[in-house]
Amino acid sequence: MRRSPGGTIIAALVVAAAAITVVTAAPMSATAAAVDPYAWRNVRIDGGGFVPGVVFNPGEQNLIYARTDIGGAYRWNQSGQSWTPLLDWVGQDDWGHNGVLSIAPDPVETNRVYAAVGMYTNSWDPNNGAILRSTDKGATWQQTNLPFKVGGNMPGRGMGERLAVDPANHKNVYFAAEGGNGLWRSTDYGVTWARVANFPNVGNYVQDPADTNGYLNQNQGLTWVTFSGAQIYVGVADKDNPVYRSLDSGATWERVAGQPTGYIAHKGVIQGKYLFIATSDTGGPYDGAAGQVYRLDTATGAWTDISPTPVADRYYGYSGLTVDTLHPGTLMVATQISWWPDAIFFRSTDYGATWTRAWDWTSYPSRSKRYTLDISANPWLDFNSTAQAPEESPKLGWMNESLAIDPFDSNRMLYGTGATLYGTTDLTKWDSGGTITIKPTAKGIEETAVLDLASPPSGAPLVSALGDIGGFYHADLDTVPANFHDTPSLGSNTSLDFAELSPSFFVRVGNADAAPHIGISNDGGKSWYQGQEPSGVTGGGTVAVGADAGNVVWSPAGTGVHYSTTRGSTWTASSGIPAGAIVESDRVNPKTFFAYAGGKFYTSTDGGATFTAQSVALPTTGRLHLKAVPGIAGEVWVAASTGLFRSTDAGATFVKVSAVAEGVNVAFGKAAPGATHPAVFLVGTVDGVDGVFRSDDTGASFVRINDDKHQYGNAGDALAGDPRIWGRVYLGTNGRGIFYADRTGPVPSPSSTSPSPSISVSPSTSVSPSTSVSPSTSVSPSTSSSAGTGCTATYKVTGSWTGGFQGEVTVTNNGSTATTGWTVKWAWTTGQTVTQSWGGTATQAGTAVTVTNASYNGALASGASTTFGFLGSTTGTTNPVPSPVSCSRVP
């Protein structure tokens, strides 16, 4: 599947130019980051992106490599029937090296493998490409930088393989470069490289010379290299001159006489004395409407058109080309693009003289098939659809540039699509009239681009927003979900959020080509319905949900910021805030929202109706994320290119965390044992080191929780802490999917965890919800008021739903002097349990509940009042108000 080359990619390239100033007396101090050992695992989706290359090492059985356009390279693990990632060490500085244009195993010394890496050849990738080399099957790598860029995610990336080892002299490695850079060769196992100066053609095919984005106007250059003894054949993206060769091990080169013209040779494969080529009229991988398959007799120089289908009947080009090395004359080729009704695979056992198809028309719209497609391992591959004949769901595939028969097992074939990797282990049944079984073979390959993550305090541990395939509700992180977000399907989902105090309510938004661009959920993101949207919306932007689900603020593409008080059924334009702002909600106060735009921080205290710019100045360029803290009203953090900043007064002032030089993203999770403030997770730079960090003392100190082997390239635009498991973090990447990470060391005792400092909240910021949680079953508010020693506590149920409720308690100082603190107690009688509280610290022992004041509301003047709120769970059908509710004051 195609990733947009903009968005998070472009954001990663911009260097901050504006300095940040804060309204504060002094920066927060921090100590050097220690290390806390973690285990990192992928949240299972399996696939989710384009697999342009699959390569078997012909020298060692079961040694197979796969390459992806933005998600790195993988090696097959036969015992686990899964793939092992090989480039997770790629970091933020060279994130483009997760784009793999080509991969080449050494057939002689099979521990050796090479990769040509780089993601874009235009300005989106700031770095040149490189050739990586490994002597341990990709476990570790060494790198030689190239003097030009490499485009692992550029047009034409499915052609190849562009990188190849000469089996006659395996010290020699060739690289067929794009961009007019010609043919390159190493004669020392890939350590040093030089351009082959006498290679006569650098290619000339450009998909769109007028493209102003710099993405479609690149010369796609050379396309593949293959060998036959002392002969070397090279494909060129030149429709008049698509194939060249050397007859003397690369000393001299010539255009192959008599070759077919008019198309680009995507693939070139040698079998015995024959060179087979598969051609298309474009470089792909998304298009291609015509092409041919040809065979060259390398001994006589005779070319033969062996195209499976006459030109007049064709609406596709050819790519994915493979031969069965154990059975001379057996070869297969795939349609490079055949969207309707499906991809077509062709198979020949007589050197291309005759062909059979994976499926044939019977009486329209019916088809007969030589295969069954079993997606039970990855059921989402049906794309949540039931197609009408002649189309089917799931499809056999699309963008089928990679197709490979195992050189040691004629029954095994693998092929890539725009969404996954498929395979079969009974391929030869095709020839005897049987039916082969095709299944997903992508376990371990995680290739999604992650745009947002949410880990609510109840329900599924993780809900995601992804590029291309939308996102998932993950009830089990180690199980592939049955389907992705649907009804509505929003294309690439750009943002999602939930109501912190009513976490069953979710909103997500996305970049569909047309409306809808918004979905609403009342069951924690498991199922969705279509929301309404303001006029002019063209894309998802960002969305924020008020703490009690009463207000939603949406900053979509195409129009200005809007707010809704009807759960997305009606919208009103917000004032005081520019279009395109990033929006976020306070996680306690339902009416407080935050935003960033153009270097300014904005606050709304009326549910998003109006925003006010604060005096703090933030960077105007670079990546920036703001997150509010669960359970603490008015506390919001900003991760920006110039550092990490914390506000405890709803953005009026910020304090810079001194050890953090750069922030990519920040998130919050369950507090450490003995701590009261949620754990702080950071993707950024601490003490000069890039990484993922955790702080259990509000930024006073950090521990690094990843290492140099687990960096995941361009990561961190999506980040979430788990509110239920201390230490767990969810990390989104651009191409390596979603990771979850857990501590592997012992849990420290509460006494070893530094207490969090006092939290200061601006007096103008309310800390108790002023509106009730929107329940599925409404009830009339019930109250109980009891006097205590010098204070009164009034208990009220403000909302109720199946299995839970929200309560609020008002504490009033009845004494003649001010208090410095207070305690409220009650006992429940029907199995209720506190699940969350704000404005006070709640503990429960059996049926007895005790709530003590927060740091900011213990001091009450005579006659003054404050409130605290809580969420509770119920086990029965009744929820009586407790009585008595006692209150005691300090002093």
Is residue 211 annotated as a catalytic residue, yes or no?
A: no
Q: How far apart are CA 107 and CA 7, in angstroms?
A: 40
Q: SS3 sequence, 121-174?
A: CCCCCCCCCEEEEECCCCCCCEEEECCCCCCCCCCCCCCCCCEEECCCCCCCEE
Residue 311 φ/ψ, nearest 5 degrees: -55, -40
Token reading at 178 = 């794009």
Query: Which residues sit opposite 887 in a β-bridge?
Result: 824
10 Å Cβ neighbour count for 40? 18
Q: How far apart are CA 455 and CA 201, in angstroms?
A: 54
Look at residue 377 and give its three-state secondary structure: coil
Q: SS3 sequence, 514-567?
A: CCCCEEEECCCCCCCEECCCCCCCCEEEEEEECCCCCCEEEEEECCCCEEECCC
Q: How far apart are CA 747 and CA 525, in angstroms?
A: 31
The one catalytic residue among 468, 497, 548, 586: 468
Look at residue 70 and give its three-state secondary structure: coil
What is the amino acid identity at position 21?
T
Token reading at 723 = 């509110």
The set of residues, in sequence order, having a beta carbon less than 8 Å from that of 799 and lying 6+ positions away, is 502, 548, 772, 773, 774, 775, 778, 779, 805, 806
Cβ–Cβ < 8 Å for 852, 812: no
Query: Which residues sit opposite 800 in a β-bridge?
Result: 805
Query: Which residues sit opposite 335 in a β-bridge?
Result: 318
Q: How far apart are CA 844 and CA 425, in angstroms?
A: 58
Look at residue 844 and give its three-state secondary structure: strand
Cβ–Cβ < 8 Å for 822, 852: yes
Token reading at 859 = 């001091």
Cβ–Cβ < 8 Å for 716, 722: no
Query: Which residues sit opposite 219 in a β-bridge?
Result: 206
Is residue 708 annotated as a catalytic residue, yes or no?
A: no
Query: Which residues sit opposite 464 in a β-bridge?
Result: 453
Beta-strand runs (E) in 209-352: 222-228, 231-236, 243-246, 254-255, 264-271, 274-280, 293-297, 302-305, 318-323, 331-335, 345-348
In the chain, how long is the greatest CA-to-CA distance?
110
Q: How far apart are CA 38 and CA 657, in angstroms?
A: 24
Q: How far apart are CA 465 and CA 509, in angstroms?
A: 9
DSSP summary character for residue 574: -
Q: How far is CA 316 from the centre of its chain?
A: 31
Cβ burial 299-333 (10 Å sphere, 16+ → b, else e)? eeeebeebbbbeeeebebbbbbbbbbbeeeebbbb
The one catalytic residue among 46, 69, 406, 586: 69
Residues involved in catalysis: 69, 468
